[in-house]
Chains A and B, each alone.
Chain A
Amino acid sequence: MIRPRWRKVLRDLWGNKLRTTLVVLSIAIRVFAVGMIVGTQILLREDLSRVYGTTNPAHAFLSISPFDEEAIEIVRNVEGVAEADGRAEHTIPLQKEGDELGEIRLTVPADFADWRLQTVASISGKWPPDEQEILMERASVPYVNAAVGEMITVEDVDGRLRQLTIVGVAHDLFTQPVQFTNVPNGYITRDTAEWLGYGDKLSRMPLRIEGEDVTEEEIRAVIDRVKLKLEKAGYAYYGDWIPEPGEHPANEAVQPLLAILGILGLLSLFASAFLVINIINGLLAQHTTQIGIMKAIGARSSQVMGLYMASVLIFGLLSLLIAVPLGALAAYGLADFIAGFINFDLNGVRLIPQVVLLQTAVAILVPVLAALVPVLRGTAITVHQALSEQGLGAGHFGSSLIDRAMNWLTAVALRLSRPTRISLRNTIRRKARLLLTLITLTLGGAIFIGVLTVHESLLKTLDDALAYFAYDIDVEFKQAHRLEEIQRQVLAVPGVAAAESWIGASAVRLRPDGEEGDGFYLIGAPADTAVINPTLLDGRWLEPGDSNTIVLNSLVLKDEPDIQVGDVIMLEVDGREGEWRVVGLVQGVMTGGIGYVNQPYLARLLRFVDKADSVEIVAATTNPAAQRALEIRLRQHLEEAGMAVDSTGLISDVRGTIEYQFGLVVTLLAVMAVLVALVGGLGLTGTMSINVLERTREIGVMRAVGASDTAVQRIVMVEGALVGVISWFFAVLLAIPISRYLSNVVGNELLRSSLSYTFSFKGAFIWLVAVIIIGALASFWPAWNASRLSVRETLAYE
């Protein structure tokens, strides 16, 4: 038989279903949020590394002059090499709907039947494809305007139209998401590549070295041996790329997401603790008299405490019941959404022990700890205090200065109607309660505004970055050439609209204390440059007559934070020390630290007057495929003219990468903002409702003395909205540091630099509207409930 005191606990919970539901839902929504966020994090990390492991990833990619099986065999025999494979990659023009020209990236494996590294899996259809056939990457299928069995039209090397039949679908974990690059991925045989005019040779060699958890140094050591062997065998070695060992390339983009999720997880943990303190406080305030009676008839404080802690425990368990499965589902949904961009499949919905453990802690431990203080305080109350506080609640109005000021303000200054005056006074009547509610609401709002601010800052940074580049192709020469010669040669290439020659150099700052700084890149550009649009943050841009003046971008200041516009700094430029006057500061745009100096001066300093070692080309077309063709023509033309080209680069490639990484984070942030608003909104609705619920008896008194139902409802709703507005004010204040911090984390993870911080006024406005609605609606429900009770019932209400 259950003892009467436990029956009291159960009946408190059962008898007050509205309140129990609200409390349980309020805790559950937080526990749900924690489960969703942390679950997403773990799902992504675990499943990505699992899928990644099955593809036999390469430790390095070597770029070699055209090769075939012979070279692969040579490399396989090099000491320390575990596996070598070969492939070619061609990005070629693709005909899209109408006459529009897009691009498709073709991967040519050495052998479909014996694909050893960075493997691609067959999902459906034929494997391997035959000549003039193509397999499409599964995420790319919607981007080529043709279904399996149909044909796509591409241009071959000579610009002739060729048709490839799609015969199957494959899965490649290593492609950049077509959603962002807009360049679909396909897989063809070497015969087909030859038919398209690219020859049947390979150009890239994925390499895996022996050993687990290898370091970059170990990889480098093996590559050096491979390079020697290859060069001895007559191959030219163009270069190599070592991805972060053991990490999927998408990690670059996923890390900032995980970082954001982690911070949001922590914040929502914090917010949930406040919510619980708030709820338990309310519960105890309501039970003051009962606590007094129980103590009067012989209950010790510890026994009373036990009763209320048991209630807290039951609240926790009930919310777990709801939040664990829902959190797991939501985590799967969110992780699946992100996995879609990275192009991998999750291992299915599952309960992750760590997450369930954490949720249990949040649902049980946090409430119990949070409740400890109010329960201790509430139950330590003496019988005398408890029983003399019966009646209309524990708050005292009228004594403090604030109260009197409020009285005067509402009655005299604002000439408010009496019911509205009651609302205002009620709002500040229970100051501790109000404070807790405010903290809870504020945290929710600050997180929402913060997330939206990061979102807008990202978009702004992206805009800045994309606006900065007014050129399309960058050509770096092996040596400096005369300016007129460069101009004459590049403008002779069809498709070049404009060109501007630059000088590049590296600079190291010699700090006042004698230390060397990290170094940055120096660009000698004409003062009236037409190929970049830097955003001026402070000071001025270069002027034609400038000598040793320099304009820095904001990324330089990351390492050298003490520099200010107007300062004279010591720089070592290509070995020459000298003083430079900082005249301006421009926004850094994901390019790293750059100092801009007047070209003629830098040329004199480096002793190549009237010469330049790079040229930035503005193409006549914006079409990426046409620009790529132009890049090839430029290379050929310049080599033929005897101007050896060191490297060329397409800004649209940079743009694609930027947009991909940003796109992922921006999309996720938008989703998070909606979720935060939902979770926060629901949690707050619960809290506010509980607050009003506690005042049922008070509402009864108001009605007993003649207040109409609508008057009572108006009082309560105005009060709710007012609390919302006050919390909004603090939320905006708090959102600033939170969003700055979040922006820094995201900027660092994504760009190794900070974002162009833009406070989200839109977010602040949305939250203001939301919080007023939340406040009013959340109060309406219990108030409406109270107005349906008879006065006698409300007065008897506990």
Chain B
Amino acid sequence: MIKRLFGTKNGEDGGNGRTPSYQPTHLVDVDNVTKAYHTPAGDFIALDGLTLKVDPGEFVAVVGKSGSGKSTLINMITGIDRPTSGGVYIGETAVHELKEGPMAEWRGRNVGVIFQFFQLLPMLSCVENIMLPMDFCHVYDPDEREERALHLLELVDMSDQAYKLPSELSGGQQQRVAIARALANDPSILAADEPTGNLDSKTAVSIYDLFEELVDKGKTILMVTHDNDLASRVTRAITLADGKIVHEVKR
């Protein structure tokens, strides 16, 4: 099953920002990253020389108070936002050097992004939402895409709702579909910013179980969460405060 789902990617690795001199030792390498926001009241340092390395198969939880820089960190890794200084390397790719266009395609192929508010396109059914990244990134044969999308829905236990519109689903169900969409192009990394923030604790646990399953299947997951119970179940939990890692627990 896993082989079938994750072993048939036929596109080449997207992204042109490879730095030949850089020898990857980690899957994710956030190297001395500083992020400053320019505000009318002066620069605000959201990340302050932060360094974080993540190896394949890790399940990392990012915790910390509101405003500590968690979302900013995740956005650095997904390429949604850019560091002011420092480097972000994922595999062989220097993410911070990618231009907007190649960045989008690289992200589409290599990072699955999961949002707090699910963010499924309302006019597309679940299956179509999952097929969309494959379509954009030209991954998989067009004829195989629907079949693959259905398999992913099966994986997140949503195959019976495949042809429903997002508005006909509960929040937890929408988040499952969003996770399936994040997996569409078989990325090695999933990045989730408070994926359970909008769900009740029971549903949150089930989403969390799904993440653990995916980690078991070889995915690397970075997840921002406020839920300390959940954070205690991961392989590694880092705590941010004022843009710095102030605490780290590894299991």
Contact A15 B124 (CB under 8 A): no
Whether A382 contacts B80 in the complex (CB less than 8 A), given A4-B131, A8-B123, A296-B107, comes out as yes
**Cα separation A298 to B124 with both chains bound (whole Å):** 17
Contact A293 B101 (CB under 8 A): no
**Cα separation A198 to B72 with both chains bound (whole Å):** 104
By a CB distance below 8 angstroms, the chain A residues around B119 are 289, 292-293, 296, 387
Whether A5 contacts B135 in the complex (CB less than 8 A), given A298-B108, A796-B167, comes out as yes
Contact A11 B123 (CB under 8 A): yes
Contact A5 B122 (CB under 8 A): no
Contact B122 A798 (CB under 8 A): yes
Of A11, A296, A302, the contact of B78 (CB 8 Å cutoff): A296
Contact A300 B101 (CB under 8 A): yes
Contact A290 B121 (CB under 8 A): yes
Contact B100 A301 (CB under 8 A): yes
Chain A, 622-653, CB within 8 A of any chain B CB:
none
Contact B136 A299 (CB under 8 A): yes
Which of A295, A297, A387 has the most C-beta atoms of chain B within 10 angstroms of its own C-beta?
Answer: A297
Of A1, A5, A298, A387, the contact of B104 (CB 8 Å cutoff): A298
**Cα separation A303 to B182 with both chains bound (whole Å):** 19
Contact A3 B135 (CB under 8 A): yes
Chain A, 233-270, CB within 8 A of any chain B CB:
none
Of B75, B104, B182, the contact of A299 (CB 8 Å cutoff): B104
Contact A297 B108 (CB under 8 A): yes
**Cα separation A15 to B167 with both chains bound (whole Å):** 13
Of A8, A12, A297, the contact of B133 (CB 8 Å cutoff): A297
Contact B136 A5 (CB under 8 A): yes
By a CB distance below 8 angstroms, the chain A residues around B78 are 296
Q: Smallest CB–CB gap between A593 and chain B, Å?
A: 66
The reply to whether the CB of A383 lies closer than 8 angstroms to some CB of chain B is yes
Interface 1/0 per residue, A7-19 and B, CB below 8 Å: 1100110010000
Contact A298 B185 (CB under 8 A): yes
Contact A384 B123 (CB under 8 A): no
Contact B128 A7 (CB under 8 A): yes
Contact B107 A8 (CB under 8 A): no
Contact B105 A298 (CB under 8 A): yes
The reply to whether the CB of B113 lies closer than 8 angstroms to some CB of chain A is yes
The reply to whether the CB of A294 lies closer than 8 angstroms to some CB of chain B is yes
Contact A4 B132 (CB under 8 A): yes
Chain A, 343-386, CB within 8 A of any chain B CB:
380, 382-384
Chain A residue at minimal CB-CB distance from B131 = A4
Interface 1/0 per residue, B43-70 and A, CB below 8 Å: 0000000000000000000000000000
Which of B104, B105, B108, B182 has the most C-beta atoms of chain A within 10 angstroms of its own C-beta?
Answer: B104
Which of B75, B119, B131 has the most C-beta atoms of chain A within 10 angstroms of its own C-beta?
Answer: B119
By a CB distance below 8 angstroms, the chain A residues around B81 are 382, 384
The reply to whether the CB of B109 lies closer than 8 angstroms to some CB of chain A is yes
We find that the number of chain A residues with CB closer than 8 angstroms to chain B is 31
Contact B75 A301 (CB under 8 A): no
By a CB distance below 8 angstroms, the chain A residues around B181 are 297
**Cα separation A5 to B137 with both chains bound (whole Å):** 11
Interface 1/0 per residue, B140-159 and A, CB below 8 Å: 00110000000000000000
By a CB distance below 8 angstroms, the chain A residues around B132 are 4-5, 8, 294, 297, 299
**Cα separation A301 to B143 with both chains bound (whole Å):** 25
The reply to whether the CB of B115 lies closer than 8 angstroms to some CB of chain A is yes
**Cα separation A4 to B146 with both chains bound (whole Å):** 10
Whether A300 contacts B136 in the complex (CB less than 8 A), given A11-B124, A382-B80, comes out as yes
Of B75, B129, B142, the contact of A3 (CB 8 Å cutoff): B142
Chain B residue at minimal CB-CB distance from A383 = B80
Chain B residue at minimal CB-CB distance from A9 = B123
Contact A382 B121 (CB under 8 A): no
By a CB distance below 8 angstroms, the chain B residues around A8 are 121, 123-124, 128, 132
Chain A residue at minimal CB-CB distance from B72 = A384
Q: Is the interface of A mostly helix, strand, loop or mixed?
A: helix
Q: Is the interface of B mostly helix, strand, loop or mixed?
A: helix
Chain B residue at minimal CB-CB distance from A10 = B123
Whether A298 contacts B142 in the complex (CB less than 8 A), given A4-B131, A8-B124, comes out as no
Interface 1/0 per residue, A292-335 and B, CB below 8 Å: 11111111111100000000000000000000000000000000
**Cα separation A294 to B121 with both chains bound (whole Å):** 9
Contact A294 B136 (CB under 8 A): yes
By a CB distance below 8 angstroms, the chain A residues around B100 are 301, 380, 382
Contact B137 A298 (CB under 8 A): yes
Contact A298 B123 (CB under 8 A): no
Q: Smallest CB–CB gap between B216 and chain A, Å?
A: 24
By a CB distance below 8 angstroms, the chain B residues around A301 are 100-101, 104
Q: Smallest CB–CB gap between B187 and chain A, Å?
A: 9
By a CB distance below 8 angstroms, the chain B residues around A11 are 123-124
**Cα separation A302 to B105 with both chains bound (whole Å):** 11
**Cα separation A415 to B2 with both chains bound (whole Å):** 67
Chain B residue at minimal CB-CB distance from A11 = B123
Interface 1/0 per residue, A528-547 and B, CB below 8 Å: 00000000000000000000
**Cα separation A299 to B132 with both chains bound (whole Å):** 9
By a CB distance below 8 angstroms, the chain A residues around B75 are 384
Contact A15 B123 (CB under 8 A): yes
Contact A297 B123 (CB under 8 A): no
Contact B80 A296 (CB under 8 A): yes
Of B122, B135, B167, the contact of A4 (CB 8 Å cutoff): B135
**Cα separation A294 to B134 with both chains bound (whole Å):** 11
Q: Smallest CB–CB gap between A225 and chain B, Å?
A: 79
**Cα separation A460 to B81 with both chains bound (whole Å):** 66
By a CB distance below 8 angstroms, the chain A residues around B115 are 293, 296, 387
**Cα separation A85 to B75 with both chains bound (whole Å):** 92
Contact B128 A298 (CB under 8 A): no
Of A3, A289, A297, A382, the contact of B113 (CB 8 Å cutoff): A297
Contact A300 B80 (CB under 8 A): no
Chain B residue at minimal CB-CB distance from A289 = B119
**Cα separation A283 to B180 with both chains bound (whole Å):** 28
Chain B residue at minimal CB-CB distance from A390 = B117
Chain B residue at minimal CB-CB distance from A386 = B80
Chain A residue at minimal CB-CB distance from B181 = A297
By a CB distance below 8 angstroms, the chain A residues around B101 are 300-302
Contact A12 B123 (CB under 8 A): yes
By a CB distance below 8 angstroms, the chain B residues around A289 are 119
Chain A residue at minimal CB-CB distance from B191 = A296
Whether A7 contacts B124 in the complex (CB less than 8 A), given A297-B133, A298-B137, A384-B81, comes out as yes
Contact B108 A4 (CB under 8 A): no
**Cα separation A1 to B142 with both chains bound (whole Å):** 9
Q: Smallest CB–CB gap between A488 and chain B, Å?
A: 95
Contact A298 B109 (CB under 8 A): yes
**Cα separation A302 to B133 with both chains bound (whole Å):** 15
By a CB distance below 8 angstroms, the chain A residues around B113 are 296-297
**Cα separation A133 to B121 with both chains bound (whole Å):** 82
By a CB distance below 8 angstroms, the chain A residues around B143 are 1
**Cα separation A300 to B167 with both chains bound (whole Å):** 26
**Cα separation A383 to B133 with both chains bound (whole Å):** 15
**Cα separation A36 to B78 with both chains bound (whole Å):** 54
**Cα separation A747 to B75 with both chains bound (whole Å):** 66
Q: Smallest CB–CB gap between A391 and chain B, Å?
A: 10
Q: Smallest CB–CB gap between A314 and chain B, Å?
A: 15
By a CB distance below 8 angstroms, the chain A residues around B124 are 4, 7-8, 11
Chain A residue at minimal CB-CB distance from B119 = A293
**Cα separation A298 to B129 with both chains bound (whole Å):** 13
By a CB distance below 8 angstroms, the chain A residues around B80 are 296, 382-384, 387
By a CB distance below 8 angstroms, the chain B residues around A15 are 123
Show 18 residue pairs from A and B whose CB-CB distance is below 8 angstroms, ordered by the A residue: A3-B135, A4-B129, A5-B135, A5-B136, A7-B124, A8-B132, A296-B113, A296-B119, A297-B132, A298-B104, A298-B136, A300-B101, A300-B104, A302-B101, A382-B81, A384-B80, A387-B119, A796-B122
Question: Knowing that A4-B129, A12-B123 are A-B contacts, what are 18 other residue pairs whose CB atoms are under 8 Å apart, sorted by A's residue number?
Answer: A3-B131, A3-B142, A5-B132, A7-B124, A7-B128, A8-B132, A11-B124, A293-B115, A293-B121, A296-B119, A297-B132, A297-B133, A297-B182, A298-B137, A299-B136, A301-B101, A387-B115, A798-B122
Q: Which 3 A-B pairs have the closest CB atoms?
A: A298-B108, A11-B123, A299-B136
